[in-house]
Amino acid sequence: MRTVYLNGEFIAENEAKISIFDRGFTFADAIYEVTAVLQGKLVDFDLHLARLRRSLDEMALALPLDNAELLAIHRALIAHNHLQEGLIYLQVSRGVEDRNFAFPPAGTPPTLVLYTQSKNILASPLAEQGINIISLPDLRWGRCDIKTTQLLYACLAKEQARQRGADDAWLMKDGWITEGTSNNVFIVTGDGAVVTRELSRFLLPGITRGTLIALLSQHGLRLEERACTLDEAREAAEAFITSSTSFVYPVVSIDGQPVGDGKPGPLTRRLRQLYIDHALALTT
């Protein structure tokens, strides 16, 4: 049984109870973060905190805890659960009030929840085999840059991928790939450039994406920040996704058509290793 954090308390997961009037439940009026844990330590935690603050600001959601307090809660939760490798989820909702669309009165306390998931991130079969992708229209709302818990379309898309025997879906808007259901998209062109879409309201500014871009420049690899079409991705030399839950996963097919020779590409493998080396060195 896991220990979770709820509004100041570390308690058993089956004792953690939230009101049915919590706005996270009624309206998905909540934001979240997911941080990877390796060797019992947090990966790129400062960057996750910065994105958390940005999400809170964009939603005009007040969280009366400073970064040192949030770090202490994360560390305590790792210790309570003896977590060596996996994930920590943090969710903040706009608190509890009788159902009413407009915001509750100022001073209504937010609901803060954290929980852990144990996961083998480094030794992953999907990282070895690569993943199969289908494409679907991007029917999400217009602020995909905010990390809200309103993930309904991502759930529908993942389920469709599963039913069609694939691992995930890439979302398409006006003929361009925006991102995966819960990850950012990269391709490698025939002449070795790494392409990923520039940041905008259409996609989440992935922490793994940002770190990988920094690693590309450190290692003299060429980056192009621009959108690409599905045709370009299908004809690419390599393709991969990034996220805190996967780090880097090769993409070996798109809509049933192999990418490159249908196996994880050499640059993708190298980038996964570079990211892992970075993550192991840069833990908090």
Residues 26-45 that bind ligand PDD (CB under 6 A): 34
- The number of residues that bind ligand PDD (CB under 6 A) is 14
DSSP state of 15: G
Q: What's the rounded Cα separation, in Å, for the pair 206 and 178? A: 12
Show contacts with ligand PDD in window 114-153 (CB under 6 A).
none
Site for ligand PDD, residues 4 to 23, rule: CB under 6 A: none
Contacts of 42 (CB under 8 A, 6+ apart): 35, 36, 48, 71, 74, 75, 78, 88, 283, 284
Look at residues 179, 188, 181, 206 and name the one whose alpha carbon lies nearest to residue 270: 188
**Piece of the chain touching ligand PDD by CB under 6 A; list 65-73, 78-86, 204-212, 217-225:** 204-212
Q: Which two tokens stand for residue 46?
A: 């400062």
State which residue, 3 or 211, has the beta carbon closest to ligand PDD.
211
The two tokens of residue 17 are: 């109870």
CB 184 within 8 A of CB 193: no
Q: Closest CB to ligand PDD among 35 and 253? A: 35
Q: Residue 135 or 242: which CB sits closer to ligand PDD? A: 242
* Cβ proximity to ligand PDD, 116 vs 183, nearer residue: 183
Query: Strand 194-196 to strand 223-225: parallel, antiparallel, or no bridges (unpaired)?
Result: parallel
- Alpha-helical (H) ranges within 9-140 are 23-27, 45-58, 67-80, 125-129
CA atoms within 13 A on the CB side of 48: 24
**Contact between residue 103 and residue 59 where contact means Cβ atoms under 8 Å apart:** no
In the complex, the smallest distance separating the C-beta of residue 97 from ligand PDD, rounded to whole angstroms, is 26
Query: Residues 172-201: x/- map of binding to ligand PDD (CB under 6 A)?
Result: -------x--xxx-----------------
Strands (E), the chain: 3-6, 9-12, 30-38, 41-42, 86-93, 111-118, 131-137, 168-173, 176-180, 184-188, 194-196, 223-225, 238-243, 247-254, 257-258
Closest distance between ligand PDD and the C-beta of residue 23, in Å? 19
Q: Which of 24, 86, 206, 250 contacts ligand PDD by CB under 6 A?
A: 206
Least Å distance, CB 174 to ligand PDD, is 18
Given the complex with ligand PDD, which of 143 and 270 has the nearer CB atom? 143
Catalytic residue among 147, 158, 173, 263: 147
CB of 87 to ligand PDD, least distance (A): 8
119 belongs to the catalytic site: no
Helix (H) or strand (E) holding 277: helix 266-281
Site for ligand PDD in 212-271 (CB under 6 A): 242-245
CB-wise, 148 or 253, nearer to ligand PDD? 148
Could you tell me the smallest distance in angstroms from the CB atom of residue 89 to ligand PDD?
8
Active-site residue set: 147
Instruction: Give contact residues for ligand PDD (rule: CB under 6 A).
Output: 34, 179, 182-184, 204, 206-209, 242-245
